[in-house]
Amino acid sequence: MPQLHVKNLTKYYKDVLALSDVSFAVEKGDFVGIIGPSGSGKTTLVRCINRLITATGGEICLNNDKNILEMNRSEIRKARTGIGMIFQHYNLVDRLTVIENVLHGRLGYKNTVSGVFGHYTEGEKRKALEVLGLLGLDEHVYRRCDQLSGGQKQRVGIARALVQEPEIILCDEPISSLDPGSSKKIMDYLRKIQSELGITILVNLHQVDVARTYAKRILGFNNGKLVYDGPSELLTTERIQEIYGKEAHELILN
């Protein structure tokens, strides 16, 4: 049974078709790279999976459970506790410390009062410190996030996702704002999380070479359609041309 099942997913923005009848399934522990030109539907797909935006039609099921598109607000809130999200621009509160930002990953488990007043258990605080150690941020626990580099901020974002204890982590272009060295660190950490913790990773990437290096499987989108779904080693020059069209010549690797 697949952990994530997407069937006939469609999304319109008014009269613009962003996703067109997209279907695929993901097994637990997979590392999936999602590639395609700008505007191809990559970000829309990821945001539909956790209902940050609502798809126009189709099905999204986790562990063969209820279609996310049919869930009410409380059901969505519960489902999101199992889906970590890592954003391109970090989505942190800069005036707060690293550990305060990480603990925000537990808000989905809190009632309104506990969430507003930041009431966290000692166990939750220990878990936050544990994941910060895993990501090499031990020395920055009590620093404000506006004092961190871009790569450090993204690691805080990963820690916030991990403290949720998710089954799946969705990454929306997590390295597009980073230098090559920081990008490699982030991708190495994501691979470590997938291989050692068994958490399923879906990551949008602009860089084809990075996708082929880290992902076991590639989903390639063009104009809202899924035009490639297969192993990274079979992502040939012809397949890249099919995904990227006129942009492909800039991406073809030796």
Report residue 251 as tokens: 């991406």
Residue range of the domain that includes 119: 93-165
**122-134 helix and 150-162 helix, angle to the nearest 10 degrees:** 130
Contact call for residues 56 and 8 (beta carbons, < 8 A): no
Task: Indicate whether 134 and 185 sit together in one domain.
Answer: no
The answer to whether 48 touches 11, Cβ cutoff 8 Å, is yes
Residue 87: inside a domain: no
pLDDT tens per residue across span 90-127: 999 999 999 999 999 998 876 654 555 568 899 999 99
Do residue 177 and residue 223 come from a single domain?
A: yes
Give the residues across from 25 on adjacent strands: 5
Same domain, 5 and 74: yes
Residue 254: band (very low, low, confident or very high) from pLDDT cuts 50, 70, 90: very low
141 shares its domain with 171? no
The mean pLDDT value for 232-249 works out to 85
Model pLDDT, residue 116: 55
Contacts of residue 9, defined as CB under 8 A and 6 or more positions apart, other chains included, come to 19, 21, 22, 23, 45, 48, 55, 57, 58, 59, 60
Average pLDDT, integer, range 159-172: 95
Verify that 51 and 171 share a domain, yes or no: yes
Per the structure, the count of domains in the chain is 2
- pLDDT band of 18, cuts 50, 70, 90: very high
Q: Is the dihedral of CA 56, 58, 61, 67 positive or negative?
A: positive
Q: Verify that 136 and 178 share a domain, yes or no.
A: no
Residues 144 and 179 in one domain: no
Establish if 5 belongs to a structural domain.
yes
CATH number of residue 189's parent domain = 3.40.50.300
pLDDT at 249 over 90: no
Mean of pLDDT values over 208-218: 95
Amino acid at position 172, single letter: D
